Amino acid sequence: MVDVGDEAPDFTLPLAGGEAYNDMEPFTLSEAIPDGPIVLAFYPAAFTSGCTEEMCSFRDSMGLFDDLDAQVYGVSVDLPFSQNVWIREEGLNFPMLSDWDHEVIYEYDVVLDGMYGMLEVAERSVFVVDTDGVVAYKWVKDGENPDFDELVVEVAEAVEDAATA
């Protein structure tokens, strides 16, 4: 289980940028780490109400993360083609990472079994990785969905703490 203080497991995933349905390129966490703190916001599935509400809260608060030179990435098991459509439909202003083969949700131990009794998806969770590649913050949903606006502010505060540590 990945916890605060652990080195963040490295991975390479398709990054969906949202410019077109086939807008994708490889993303490797270790290559992005030196550019500033990284927020990995795992969510179960694009196009669902809770996930849309959560990602739109990040969208509406991107100024907080931009001011901290932080990078925000949504992470799900959705294919990048679907993520690109969702980014465009919701006007999301940050990219998505496609863990289509479910390796990263296992590495970070955020597997939500049995969505609708059929699907294995990412458990709603957020990790902040500092510029040394260490997990500086971890939040995993416990119970009902939180107030996403409050969660995003808490994540931004964790990014600020990670950037000044």
Name residue, tokens 């500092």: 130
Domain chopping of the chain, boundaries: 12-164
In angstroms, the CA 48 to CA 81 distance is 16
Angstrom distances, CA of residue 10 to CA of 20, 130, 133: 27, 13, 9
Query: Tokens 């993520």 appear where?
Result: 83
Residue 157: DSSP 8-state: H
Q: Which residues are catalytic?
A: 51
Please name the residues in contact with 75: beta carbons below 8 A apart, sequence gap of 6 or more.
Answer: 13, 40, 41, 42, 43, 96, 97, 99, 104, 105, 122
CB of 17 within 8 A of CB of 29? no
Q: pLDDT tens-digit profile of 46-58?
A: 988 889 999 999 9
- For the entire predicted model, the pTM comes to 0.94
| Nearest residue to 54 via CA among 98, 84, 92 | 92
Q: Mind listing the pLDDT tens digit for each residue in 49-99?
A: 889 999 999 999 999 999 999 999 999 999 999 999 999 999 999 999 999
Residues 16 and 27: beta-carbon distance below 8 Å: no
Q: CA 4 to CA 23: how far, in whole Å? A: 33
Q: Is 159's pLDDT higher than 90?
A: yes
- pLDDT score recorded for residue 118: 60
State yes or no: pLDDT of 114 exceeds 80: no
The CATH number of 12-164, from 3.30.70.120, 3.30.70.20, 3.30.9.30, 3.40.30.10, is 3.40.30.10
